[in-house]
Amino acid sequence: MKLPKPLNKYFDHTLLKPEATNEQIDELVKEAKEYDFYSVCVNTCYVSRCYDALKDTDVKVAAVVGFPLGACTTQTKVFETQEAFMDGAGEVDMVLNVGKFKSGDNDYVRDDIRAVADAAHSFGGIVKVILETCLLTSEEIVEACKLSMEAGADFVKTSTGFGSAGASTVDVALMKKTVGDHLQVKASGGIRDYDQCMKMIEAGADRIGASASVKIMEVYNSEH
C-alpha cells in the first residue's frame, strides 16, 4: 500500500494516562522529535511544557478537551480550548457529549461542538470530535459524524482510549464514508502494532492516535 504521506506524519504521539509524570511527558516529546511525528497529544496541563520543548520543530501539540467523558458544560470545554491554544496547542480533541447525543438532544450536541470549533478556529486551530464509537451503534456513528460536519469540526475521531473498546476498521470505514472529503478521520484507541495501523489507514484514517507510535515506526523502518 502506497501512503499519500510519510507514515510518521500520521501520528499524534499520545500520552493521556492520569499517572503520566513530567519525565514521561518529556520522553514523549523526545520521541516525537526523533521520529518527526505530526504531533504529541497530551492533557492540557502539559501543553505549555510540550510547546516550549517543540517550538523549534514542526511537531505540533494537540490537547484533549472535556476528556475523557465529554459530559462537562459547553462553557467548560470552550474555556479549556482557549487555554490550550493560548498555551501553544495547534489542535484540540474534544469528547462528544454522548449522554446528550443518546438523549436525542442533537441541537445541544451540535452547539457544543460548534462552540469549541469556533473557539479553536479563532486561534487558527483544528478540532477533532471524539465520538467514543464503542458506545454507539452504526446509525449513531453516522449521525454523530453528520452533526460534527454541521458544527464545523475538522475531524471525527473514534475513541478516547478509555472506553470499553478502541478503534475498529469497520467504524473508521463508516466514518470516512459518511464524512467523505468534508472532514478527516482519526483512528485512536488500541492501535498497538504496525499491521493494525496500516489497516486503519487503508480503512480511511487520515491520522493515527497511538502511544505505540515508536514501536510501529521501528517495524516500518525495518521493512523499508
User: 0.85 exceeded by the pTM?
Assistant: yes
Asked whether residue 20 is domain-assigned, the answer is yes
Q: What is the pLDDT of residue 84?
A: 98
Indicate which CATH number applies to the domain containing 87: 3.20.20.70
Give how many domains the chain has, as a whole number: 1
Q: What is the pLDDT of residue 155?
A: 98
Q: What is the pLDDT of residue 2?
A: 87
Q: What is the pLDDT of residue 31?
A: 98
Asked whether residue 1 is domain-assigned, the answer is no
Looking at the DSSP bridge assignments, the partners of residue 63 are 42, 92
Asked whether residue 18 is domain-assigned, the answer is yes
Per-block mean pLDDT, blocks of 10 residues, the chain (224 long): 94 98 98 98 98 97 98 98 98 98 98 98 98 98 98 98 96 98 98 98 98 98 91
Selected catalytic residue, list 60, 176, 186, 199: 186
Q: What is the pLDDT of residue 56?
A: 95
Active site residue 60: no
Q: What is the pLDDT of residue 224?
A: 86
Selected catalytic residue, list 93, 112, 154, 171: 93
Domain that holds residue 64: 7-223
Q: Where are the beta strands (DSSP E) in the chain?
A: 11-15, 39-42, 60-65, 91-95, 126-130, 155-157, 184-188, 207-210
Q: What is the pLDDT of residue 143?
A: 98
Asked whether residue 2 is domain-assigned, the answer is no
Q: What is the pLDDT of residue 213?
A: 98
Helix (H, G, I), strand (E, B) or coil at 127: strand
Residue with cell 511527558: 25
Q: What is the pLDDT of residue 91?
A: 98
Host H or E run for residue 194: helix 194-203
Query: Rounded to whole angstroms, how far apart are CA atoms 191 and 212?
Result: 7
Q: What is the pLDDT of residue 12?
A: 98
Selected catalytic residue, list 157, 171, 176, 199: 157
Active site residue 157: yes
Query: Rounded to whole angstroms, how far apart are CA atoms 133 and 153?
Result: 17
